[in-house]
Structure 1
């Protein structure tokens, strides 16, 4: 008989919650920010408001946004003229759009995340769906479950109208689910379209006007889980801890109210000041237990709420200009996508780290912070860990070997597994040598552990493959390590094209008279010596 405590312990994962895949999507319609004012005032029949249009043009020019993607097209807006007025009744038309388009856009992002994850969608156990759009029952979580063909038993959480801080909230929930449900794989989807907020301009409504300057459409999806399957699932970011707070004196600074005119935004002009004056308190609360107080020593995933907010946070914390590059890039290319924004930034940062050959997914740094802010004024702060790029890349190098055999994983294989693969025609010596040399080519610039590769290694592997035949076809018997690639330390003599220097430049290019005794025995056993490694630090 087991106790309740034993049952609870068995239900919990051993490792931390980890983001394993990210997918993003946008509608096809793209609007350039420099031409948007003319389009916006024309489609809303507001061209007579010349002073307001000039103000709007100036706001767009100062937004640092280059383009935004939106579901709403000119054709759609002409069919729904009430949406183009400032506060005309239009909720039914808006709801008819969002209940279809929000799950559809979320599906596009989810498919990309599931593909990167590399596991069948039947292994998804939980779904978190988030959108600022209006409530509908059954909700967007149900619609997405149907669109993706997920198991009906998937446990769903639907989050409506949390606003811009919800990109951090969904990660908090995913962390709790992954770490407290052993084997859980959580699909997280944030899908936002501006059909719920779009409206014509008003001289007296600053909140709506700034929304038309900043907001764009986008969806992002993540797969989150603990205790990753080695060689199949890869870590992108680890979720360490979470903190949420309501900023003092912030009542009424960011609000959104759903009514007959859709979701009407209310913003005060002191939002940037409130956030910048309080952000360090949130950081200290989150990072003091970790012993981190230098905000330039971490990477930043900051909600791209607008350039003024980013500028004031940067100034208040003394951040170097490069620290908020990812937030500024996403703001420039997509605008403010509400809850999806920080997830786009996660994706952008890990992609650039791979492209630039950095050691970790988080700008080459180990620790980072994700923070979101929105109605309340609510701030969520989350410390993150970025794993080494070599861990992230590991599944890339399963190459042809795993492609030819679904039950053989070279990353986890031991000697017996490899010998079994040899004898059952699932692996050749050349494939194995190519695999190791490819890994060396990728990881050695970071690790600096291999001094040189044997230029004859592939030729030796080809020769070994010719010799390796099953006994009943007349082939000779081979030993347990025949065809195995092996690295030697640089102080072990090899009479071949490899140098033996013992870390001395004076011996570079010298020729040893014969193989060391160890090397002779290894060659007799059929080992492929594929390079020389650096020595231990003395």
Structure 2
């Protein structure tokens, strides 16, 4: 009977659609705008750009924030030419959301394209082999959105399965990677392009007591990661295995970190409580994540760490709470120093930095086998992924 035959085919396909192994990171690409601002010069740049030089006390406070930030430089798309063309951006009494959206609608996918092309080149397969696209940004307020634009720029197949994540903030990269893991492991042969692209232009504002901490931390950038399970033997090189993933929301912390669209762009709120909230909850999140893979008593210093560098205080608090050796968060601190906090895109830069550091180590036997990825965003939300070094795994015969 035709119905029975069809049902048998469906059942057979369901049994074989899952991957045999865990999702892996197969390639990484990053990109930044050309405009570089040294952190020591940022207060002068920012107060000059916004014509706020008369706010001397606030400017001095920003200088102190920048000096203690652990940041040396940042990349920022916004410049004097854009302000001259669109003065409404620095006039809080004039609506500017439409202007900002018009700019980022072009520039956000363009920056993502640059990062994605680097990842695809490293991957070594044609872009048309990508089956799924996940795009995360807080800069998007329009549809069709950046995912469709990026697919067109890269020449992906019309049948590519697209997902857009909006306003996940700094946890966007971690959330996108978790979704990519689920897709890769439940769709045999899937190759997922994760793209995160952020421009602070969408939330740029004139100096305000409640916002200068954020303006002193955030920069612009894009990260791209290709994820797939069961790497092919003819050229795919797994960089990190994603063994388990979880998301935790800290109850009662919705007030601490958030974003809201207004007539003057995206208004972000960043409480000084965030580093402490993360410190008070990180240990239990990590215990829960590692228990899910059968490790009930992990030694945190035996792991490698890919932590979103939301700010120096967040890294310091995690290091203190877990009693980590000073070099354990070196990759995150290096990215913070070189780029600042690029929101969801930053975790791709941290993974890339970890990969480079690992490649420089001569003794692969000494490399940690297990690691963890952490990202933090509105909620307050903690994204956790248990990672495994496929090179150490091979050397140890597991």
Give your verdict on TM over 0.5. yes
Alignment of 1:240 onto 2:243: yes
Match of 1:344 among 341, 345, 349: 349
The superposition leaves residues 338-380 of structure 1 with CA deviations (integer Å, 9 ceiling, x where unpaired) of: 00111110000101111232427xx821111101111111111
Would the aligned equivalents of 1:87 and 1:199 in 2 still touch at CA under 8 Å?
Answer: no
Task: Return structure 1 stretches of 4+ with deviation > 4 angstroms.
Answer: none
Q: Which residue of 1 aligns with 2:313?
A: 308
Q: Which residue of 1 aligns with 2:323?
A: 318
Tell me by how many angstroms 1:5 deviates. Answer: 4.0
Would the aligned equivalents of 1:86 and 1:202 in 2 still touch at CA under 8 Å?
Answer: no
1:106-125 maps to which residues of 2 (within 5 A)? 106-125=112-131
Would the aligned equivalents of 2:369 and 2:392 in 1 still touch at CA under 8 Å?
Answer: no
Q: Which residue of 1 aligns with 2:206?
A: 200
Q: Which residue of 2 aligns with 1:421?
A: none
Q: Which residue of 1 aligns with 2:34?
A: 28
The superposition leaves residues 465-518 of structure 1 with CA deviations (integer Å, 9 ceiling, x where unpaired) of: xxxxxxxxxxxxxxxxxxxxxxxxxxxxxxxxxxxxxxxxxxxxxxxxxxxxxx
In structure 1, C-alpha distance between the alignment counterparts of 2:363 and 2:87, rounded to whole Å: 50
In structure 1, C-alpha distance between the alignment counterparts of 2:92 and 2:212, rounded to whole Å: 10
Alignment of 1:385 onto 2:391: no
Tell me by how many angstroms 1:386 deviates. Answer: 1.1
Match of 1:141 among 143, 147, 155: 147
In structure 2, C-alpha distance between the alignment counterparts of 1:86 and 1:262, rounded to whole Å: 10
In structure 2, C-alpha distance between the alignment counterparts of 1:182 and 1:278, rounded to whole Å: 36
Tell me by how many angstroms 1:228 deviates. Answer: 1.0
Tell me by how many angstroms 1:82 deviates. Answer: 2.1
Would the aligned equivalents of 2:135 and 2:147 in 1 still touch at CA under 8 Å?
Answer: yes
Would the aligned equivalents of 2:198 and 2:343 in 1 still touch at CA under 8 Å?
Answer: yes
Q: Please give the TM-score of this superposition, normalised by the length of structure 2.
A: 0.94
In structure 1, C-alpha distance between the alignment counterparts of 2:178 and 2:92, rounded to whole Å: 36
The 3-state SS of whatever aligns with 2:169 is coil
Superposed CA RMSD: 1.7
The superposition leaves residues 45-95 of structure 1 with CA deviations (integer Å, 9 ceiling, x where unpaired) of: 111001111001000101110000011111112222222245642101100
Q: Which residue of 2 aligns with 1:72?
A: 78
Q: Which residue of 1 aligns with 2:260?
A: 257
Match of 2:61 among 40, 55, 71: 55
Gaps of 5+ in 2: none
In structure 2, relative to structure 1, the CA distance for the partners of 1:225 and 1:99 (3 Å cut) is: same
The superposition leaves residues 257-280 of structure 1 with CA deviations (integer Å, 9 ceiling, x where unpaired) of: 011110011122111110000000
Instruction: Report the number of matched residues.
Output: 388
Match of 1:374 among 370, 373, 377: 377
In structure 1, C-alpha distance between the alignment counterparts of 2:174 and 2:261, rounded to whole Å: 23
Q: Which residue of 2 aligns with 1:276?
A: 279
